[in-house]
């Protein structure tokens, strides 16, 4: 028996699925985050290994029985990142065809296979990706928390904490949302919270997301406004892709995926309304097949199209999936330059939105 193995890695967790020769799920495994740009390559490689071994154990299969592997990772749009992941997986599975790409490509595969459609992902980060009937692809977002990730769990958490900080600065009594945040994070005061953020932002801001949902559903106005802003921002990412692919007036599948969606109507409903405004004939719904299964299916499909003697060759990320590879930012982390940092962040974000929409980048 031979198997195909698919990996879906993000900023929160890594999922692995093993498919048998008939395309049926034979085993599954889960591990920690594997976005190399957030957790580093060593941690990402460790998570990929743990998830793959757990899935193979679940399937009762050996690594030598795997003939095709695909890993779709957040952060792997950069060719240098994809190639390092590819080299690692090729060493782990020397007998198999290996493909390294982004979480966007495997989500689209899970949604529509090789056909036309759009996927909108909102988890720790946010992005949109699509393909039209002519095979043209487009993407928006996916540039990380400094330059984007609008509407993501990270963004929602950051905005909630920023709102609490403004209320504190203005001398207002602690809001119910702020109290919930401190309780959820087990922080005693602002100094404790600031130190936590300085150590690892990914352990703080995404963890606030469920607190915002809880507060919003309890009627907190600030929390509801934050979720409404997230819905608008996510819909804008999808709109960029839809317009670039010429899909606005057509009928196509628009799948949503990621841990930030499907958790509250206060985010999902305004998001769907906004998406229908941009694409009235779109068939909108949550992704019914997991991206990890999409990765395993893609691995099998690509392996079948490659010659046997080319099955171990590197597969590079496509140009349309490369995010912001030549932008570097140096910001001194002092309070004196906090306003300047925000200004430069807005300028870079604006420039990136222009790049996503296909417009010439302005100075």
pLDDT at 356: 55
Q: Is the pLDDT of residue 335 over 60?
A: no
**The pairing of beta strand 14-19 with beta strand 25-31:** antiparallel
Q: Report the CATH fold assignment for 117-287.
A: Nucleotidyltransferase; domain 5 (3.30.420)
207-217 pLDDT tens trace: 999 999 999 99
pLDDT at 136: 94
**pLDDT (mean) for 122-129:** 90
CA 142 to CA 324: how far, in whole Å? 9
Residues in a beta bridge with 139: 129
Confirm if 233 and 264 have CB atoms less than 8 A apart. no
What token pair was written down for 76? 């792997």
Q: Please state, in angstroms and as integers, the Cα–Cα distance from residue 283 to each residue in 1, 117, 238, following that order.
A: 37, 9, 13
Where along the chain do its domains lie? 3-112+289-321, 117-287, 337-363
Q: Where are the beta strands (DSSP E) in 280-339?
A: 283-286
CA–centroid distance for 51 within its chain: 18
150-203 pLDDT tens trace: 999 999 999 999 998 888 888 777 778 888 888 888 888 888 888 888 888 888
Helices (H) and strands (E) in the chain, counts: 12, 10
Angle at which helix 221-244 crosses helix 265-278, to 10 degrees, equals 30
**pLDDT (mean) for 113-135:** 91
Residue 171: strand, helix, or coil:
coil
Q: Is the pLDDT of residue 312 over 50?
A: no
Pick from 268, 286, 144, 150: nearest CA to 213: 268
Domains 3-112+289-321 and 117-287 in one fold: yes
Angle at which helix 176-185 crosses helix 153-169, to 10 degrees, equals 120
28-78 pLDDT tens trace: 999 999 998 888 999 999 999 999 999 999 999 999 999 999 999 988 888
Tell the CATH superfamily of the 3-112+289-321 domain: ATPase, nucleotide binding domain (3.30.420.40)
In this prediction, residue 332 has a pLDDT band, given cuts at 50, 70 and 90, of very low
Residues in a beta bridge with 19: 4, 25
């Amino acid at each position: 028996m031979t198997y195909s193995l698919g990996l879906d890695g993000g900023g929160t967790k890594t999922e692995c699925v093993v498919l048998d020769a008939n395309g049926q799920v034979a085993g599954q495994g889960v591990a920690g985050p594997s976005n190399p740009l957030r957790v580093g390559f060593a941690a990402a490689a460790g998570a990929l290994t743990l998830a793959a071994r757990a899935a193979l154990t679940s399937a009762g299969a050996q690594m030598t029985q795997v003939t095709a592997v695909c890993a779709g990772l957040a952060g792997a749009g950069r060719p240098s990142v994809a190639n390092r992941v590819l080299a690692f997986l090729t060493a782990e599975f020397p007998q198999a065809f290996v493909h390294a790409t982004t979480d966007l490509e495997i989500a689209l595969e899970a949604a529509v296979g090789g056909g036309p459609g759009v996927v909108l992902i909102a988890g720790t980060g946010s992005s949109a990706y699509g393909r039209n009937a002519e095979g043209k692809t487009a993407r928006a977002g996916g540039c990380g928390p400094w330059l984007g990730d609008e509407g993501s769990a990270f963004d929602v958490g950051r905005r909630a904490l920023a709102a609490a900080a403004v209320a504190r600065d203005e001398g207002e009594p602690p809001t119910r949302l702020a109290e919930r945040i401190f309780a959820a994070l087990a922080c005693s005061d602002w100094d404790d919270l600031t130190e936590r953020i300085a150590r690892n932002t990914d352990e703080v801001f995404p963890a606030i997301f469920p607190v915002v949902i809880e507060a919003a559903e309890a009627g907190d106005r600030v929390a509801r406004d934050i979720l409404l802003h997230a819905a608008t921002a996510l819909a804008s990412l999808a709109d960029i892709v839809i317009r670039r692919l010429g899909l606005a007036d057509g009928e196509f599948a628009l799948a949503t995926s990621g841990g930030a969606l499907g958790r509250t109507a206060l985010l999902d409903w305004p998001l769907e309304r906004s998406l229908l405004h941009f694409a009235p004939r779109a068939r909108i719904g949550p992704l019914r097949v997991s991206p990890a299964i999409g990765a395993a299916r893609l691995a099998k499909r690509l392996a079948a199209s490659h010659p046997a003697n080319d099955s171990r060759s590197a597969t590079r990320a496509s140009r349309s999936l490369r995010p912001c590879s030549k932008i570097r930012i140096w910001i001194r982390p002092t309070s004196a330059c906090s306003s300047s940092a925000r200004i430069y962040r807005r300028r870079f974000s604006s420039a990136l939105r222009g790049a996503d929409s296909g417009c010439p980048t302005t100075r």
